[in-house]
Structure 1
């Protein structure tokens, strides 16, 4: 199961997401991106130091680069949006209780929990090289899927920013947002689907399977929960807007083509 190496990755992830002690939402946002970058680089160092990569060093570099691109883009985008966008800062404060401080034991519990989650999320790459797997087709497919997820997230965030700049008082409904209401969350799911796929031919023993599956289910749940909370805020703000309701009632909320339109109970007066 390689508990000693998982512990090293956990420590790195915990250190990098400790920014959440400044503002607890950072445990799940900016610190999340930092932790994924750090976890990926740690796996590369461990693999090279232990001679695990062999002739697949190129694959190790590609998978590490994928984590670096993903985490850097995510944390960089969130930092830029918070610094430059006053409306977003206001929304963030409202969503997080106006920066209300959590009891320290609660913060520590969240910190340890998310550090464990981030460790599990990057674990498929650790398992591949620590297990000495030599196949490359499946991990390359996983990399392609994950790269598609990063591109989807990036394009969705850019399109939303552009639409909000033109009309701050309206929900983004154009381009990717015509297909699905939360394309950035869908992109996140696609990214981690690729990571999970990349380890399918290497998981050994029930421990590795449970770790990989639990991490994947957790991130999918978190994305659906995030979409649910976003919808709740939008319903509160736009619930009496006929155009918004027509859009929300006809556009899947998170998975394209899947007819799940709402994750919250709808008021029949506005639905």
Structure 2
């Protein structure tokens, strides 16, 4: 998606640097290697279908890694933040499963299968490694939530509230889009949340990630911990911004001559609702 092809590798390199600094200072420990291993296990679905790593791989990794952190230190703050991470993963896997089976998604599924067939093994390996690191760092805020006592503070509650709000918004937006596409697969979606906001699903994702950033801000006890908790969520926020821009451009190419689409563009915002 445009600049993302450069931004993503830069973030992955930054994560390697954070890991190296953590190893040198003794802050990167066995739990982090275990998180990394489970993230790569979840992302291994890329060897079945390349495009699945961004959907099933993301959801499975979120479930596995957050469950690991919860088992490692089952204190209230970790159970809350990790539990929301697990809920996110379950919702994503279920949504993707239903979407891939829907009639309205058949054209996208066909294009995805065709793209998968042409992906060489070296690229799969590169993306498997890179996405595994990304999924690990997205789960870092749950590890940070353990803090010194693992208690649920006002800051943890604030971050968790944002995560829950983002998760609910994304869930409702995805459901509304599924219903709309079921009744009219080739039309643009302009009902429900989409009446004033073109990408409420992306906004929900951004709010969820901002919640993780808030958890990091109140939980990090060192510059290294802060960097480790910021890297993953910040990348996803940037990704959603560019994904929304890309979707807007695609829709303009597809529906740009439709007067109804032109009116909807004037009455709606991309990532913030039009008033």
Counterpart position of 1:17 = 43
Secondary structure (helix, strand or coil) at the match of 2:139 reads helix
Pairing partner for 2:159 from 128, 142, 151: 142
Counterpart position of 1:262 = none
Counterpart position of 1:240 = 257
Distance (whole Å) between structure 2 residues aligned to residue 100 and residue 120 of structure 1: 29
Distance (whole Å) between structure 2 residues aligned to residue 233 and residue 96 of structure 1: 20
Distance (whole Å) between structure 2 residues aligned to residue 67 and residue 235 of structure 1: 34
Pairing partner for 1:229 from 225, 229, 246: 246
Counterpart position of 1:45 = 71
Pair 226,93 (structure 1): closer, same or farther in 2 beyond 3 Å: farther
Counterpart position of 1:172 = 189
Report the TM-score, using the length of structure 1 for normalisation. 0.84
Instruction: Give the unaligned 5+ runs of structure 1.
Output: 49-56, 259-271
Say if 2:199 is the partner of 1:151.
no
Shift of 1:224: 1.9
Pairing partner for 1:31 from 25, 45, 57: 57
Counterpart position of 1:64 = 82
Over the aligned positions, Cα root-mean-square deviation in angstroms equals: 2.0
Pairing partner for 1:2 from 22, 25, 28: 28
Distance (whole Å) between structure 2 residues aligned to residue 119 and residue 257 of structure 1: 35
Comparing 186-195 and 98-107, the one that deviates more: 98-107
Cα-to-partner distance string for 1:149-195 (whole Å, 9 max, x where unaligned): 11101111111122222322321111211221010110011111112
Say if 2:239 is the partner of 1:197.
no
**8 Å Cα contact 1:124/1:195 also seen in 2:** yes
Pair 169,115 (structure 1): closer, same or farther in 2 beyond 3 Å: same
Distance (whole Å) between structure 2 residues aligned to residue 179 and residue 250 of structure 1: 6
Counterpart position of 1:261 = none
Secondary structure (helix, strand or coil) at the match of 1:173 reads coil
Secondary structure (helix, strand or coil) at the match of 2:270 reads coil
Distance (whole Å) between structure 2 residues aligned to residue 254 and residue 182 of structure 1: 6
Distance (whole Å) between structure 2 residues aligned to residue 16 and residue 22 of structure 1: 12
Shift of 1:14: 0.6
* Superposition misfits of 4+ residues, deviation over 6 angstroms: none
Counterpart position of 1:81 = 99
Shift of 1:77: 0.6
Instruction: Give the unaligned 5+ runs of structure 2.
Output: 1-26
Report the TM-score, using the length of structure 2 for normalisation. 0.83
Which of the pair is proportionally richer in helix? 2
